[in-house]
Amino acid sequence: MSIWILDLQLKSKLNQNKNMATFEIKTKRAMNVQGKYVDAGLSVQVNSMFSNPFDEVDKIDKAFKRVHGIDLKPEGYLSLGYLEYRSI
C-alpha cells in the first residue's frame, strides 16, 4: 500500500472517533440484582456512535459488569424502564 492510502485510512479512523458521543447511564431506582442491592443513581460511562446508547445495549451491560461487577442482563434491567442516560 502506498503511504497516501494509509494516511487517508488513518484520517478516516480519527474522524470516526470525533463522531462518538459519551453517555452517562444511571439506574433510575433501587433494585435487587442477583442478591446485591443496587441503589438508584449507580452509573457508568459508555461511548457510542449512535444518538441513543441503548442501540448498543451490550456495551452498557459490559460496562456495569466491568465497573460494578453486576450483570443486569439476566434480570431484564437493561432497558429505559430501569436505566436513564444523558450525553456528557
Q: Is residue 24 within 8 Å of 88, Cβ to Cβ?
A: yes
CA–CA distance, 2 with 8 (Å, rounded to integer): 10
Alpha-carbon distances, residue 86 vs 13, 32, 51 (angstroms): 25, 23, 10
Q: Is 64 helix (H, G, I), strand (E, B) or coil?
A: helix
- Per-residue pLDDT band for 12 (boundaries 50, 70, 90) equals low
Q: What is the mean pLDDT of the chain?
A: 86
Cell numbers at 50, concatenated: 449512535
pTM exceeds 0.85: no
What pLDDT, in 10s, does the model give residues 29-70? 999 998 999 999 999 999 999 999 999 999 999 999 999 999
